[in-house]
A and B are shown apart, each in its own frame.
Chain A
Amino acid sequence: MTQRFANIIMSFVMLGICAVFLYQTNKLSYPSNVFPYILIGGIAILSLIILLQNVFSKVEVREKFNQINYKRIISIVVISIIYISVISTFGFYSVTFIYLIVMCVSLQSQEANIKMAMKVRNSLLLSTSIVILVYIVFNILLKVPTPRGFLI
């Protein structure tokens, strides 16, 4: 994908956001609508300028989007969403322990020179020590609350 194409898509998305917020702002009365109108106007103008600049530009810069490991990024986002979704059901520490093992093992998949058993052992060691450390620092020393579930 070129930077130019990405800019054009971004401009359209921004204009779409403006349309949604404008629809909502029209339902508001003065003075609640003043600031949003100014911001929506500003975003729309800037988006249009960027759109026109890119549509009429002759410069084609191929961005290094292809080097991004999309599969890895999507899997991190999905696992993270699952992680935070189940925290309040099971409890922070139990879910964090499992999450750390899953993430560490999956992220080490690129390391061909490390054996699977070693990866699991490293992940187990790290997960256990991090969960214990987090419990000591946040629960015992700093008294920072963490989400509770039916486990810990």
Chain B
Amino acid sequence: MEQNIIELIISGFMNSLSPYHILLMVFGIAAGIVVGTLPGLTATMAVALLVPVTFVMEPASGLVMLGAVWCGAIYGGANAAILLNIPGTPSSIATTFDGYQMTKNGAADKALLASLISSVIGGIVGVVILLTLFAPLAQVSLKFGKPEYFWLCIFGLTTISAMSTGNVLKGLLGGLLGLLIGTIGLDPVAGIPRFTFGYRPLIQGIQLVPALIGFFAFSQMLTLMERNEKYIAKYKQTPNLFKSLVSEMLQKGRSIIIRSSILGAFIGMLPGAGGPVASLIAYNEAKRWDKNPEKYGKGALEGIMASESSNNAVIGGSLIPMMALGIPGCPAAAVVMGGLLAHGIIPGSKLLTQSGDVAYTFITSLIIANLIMLPVGYFMIKLVANILNVPLYFVAPIILVLSSIGAYALRNSMFDVFVMVIFGVIAYILSKVGIDPGPLALGLVLGPIAEDALGVSLVIAHAKGSILQIMFLRPVSFILIILSILSVFTPLILSHIKKNIGLEVKKNDSTVC
């Protein structure tokens, strides 16, 4: 069997390297980067848009293209996050924290290139994990029940402390507000409408994508226009950046990229978690383990490396349960699975024996696609960075037009466009009192998952007669609880130790709390 797998891997590489497949990958990556860069158009949408195109192709070729589009779109989200402070896809929320700061500091091309290199490495690490470990790791993901999901969400929420430097109370307040907004609509356990105030469209709840576009795109447009500045930042291309950046990244962030990639692949395995959760947790961990955590949020290269390597590693991770068990790890994996099924390939235990050649061509093509992404992405960076040379009075209205399409396209609903504008105005006002959109978005992303997990866990606990056993004493839950506690208290303890040994602790004096 082992011999067979090695043969399948080699034959998969040979198939992936055919000129036709290389051409499909170049097209797929370029299309993915464009879609990913546009706010509101998600990686899932990019993959879904191209599924019908694959019906006229051989199954392996179709999957090769879908994989390339997916990789390109997840990476492409970083471009808008870095240049405009608008995550092109929800997976790049954490990239905005340091990426935009680097743009404002005049290092846009460095940030863009770092995100590309990190995405490529993260993507390859994720696929290598998929290639070598997908059978045993799929079993690990099966150990995640609802209580474990609840604690994973709580662990994700602890990243708020990482996002809210010097202002944890307001960060937590924003996170809770995001969670509360996430409760609008049908209750995930009992199916009862809540907080609709008699307005019927609210029964379906606040959709994540329009709200995120509002939080990041519309509010950012208002922030850009509130002062009479002509450009977002001064942009000057840095010569010979690639070589110096690679050595800087190898020196500063080798462990960050590897750790974030492994985290991303692991979180990708968990159905429903996906890129946004992975990148936020990876960002938090990078900050928590760093000797100088205060530099995060001010243009730290390490922040971009953590976020971008983890969200691209999610691709490999989310394919593990999809290919091994037929359970997609994220919406884009579900669309790819639809593509597999449309070609008569059934994911699961018989995938290797019945369609091993197609499966391994697809997996190995993801490694090649990530490698191809380096030159394609590098070429496109030079194009997208020029956005900084366009005056703001032209950029701002275009942002709103693209945001409107992004919000509308998800459900063909003008209600979502209004949600985008209303949430944009709310986020803008909140940002003026020190509540950033990051914690709000995190609460909104994790809220429905956390509530569903909590509700089902409570029902199970009620049936088994022990809340303690179900919620706290299961091994994975217990580990996640410990990690959550460490995540919240480590920065406080470290700060206390620093104070005690006489190091200067900078306090954000623009806020009282």
Residues in chain A within 8 A of chain B (CB atoms) = 3-4, 6-7, 9-10, 14, 17, 21, 24-25, 28-29, 31-32, 34-36, 39-40, 42-43, 46-47, 49-50, 53-54, 57, 59, 61, 63, 65, 67-69, 72-73, 76-77, 80-81, 83-84, 87-88, 92, 96, 99-100, 103-104, 107-108, 110-111, 126, 130, 134, 137-138, 142-147
Contacts and interface: CB of A to CB of B under 8 A. Distances in A.
A31 B458 contact: yes
A73 B396 CA distance: 12
A104 B227 CA distance: 16
B189 A46 contact: no
A84 B173 contact: no
B512 A7 contact: yes
10 contacts: A28-B192, A39-B176, A39-B183, A59-B509, A61-B512, A69-B225, A69-B228, A72-B225, A144-B41, A144-B409
A64 to B, nearest CB: 9
Nearest to B222: A73
B450 to A, nearest CB: 8
Contacts of A34: 454-455, 458
A49 B513 contact: yes
A126 B509 CA distance: 43
Interface stretch (B14-22, B119-127, B410-418, B493-501): B410-418
Contacts of B49: 142-144
B313 interface: no
Contacts of A137: 34
B112 interface: no
A61 B510 contact: yes
B179 A39 contact: yes
B504 interface: no
B-side interface mostly: helix
A4 B414 contact: no
A135 to B, nearest CB: 11
Contact of A99 (B397, B412, B455): B397
A76 B513 CA distance: 32
Contact of B180 (A43, A63, A67, A69): A43
Given A7-B512, A39-B179, A144-B41, 6 more contacts: A3-B510, A6-B432, A29-B190, A35-B450, A61-B511, A87-B404
B250 interface: no
Given A50-B173, A110-B228, A145-B408, A100 B454 contact: no
Max chain A C-beta neighbours (<10 A), residue from B230, B392, B408: B408
Contacts of A84: 404, 414, 417-418, 421
Contacts of B222: 73, 76-77
A2 B195 CA distance: 33
Given A21-B180, A40-B180, A96 B401 contact: yes
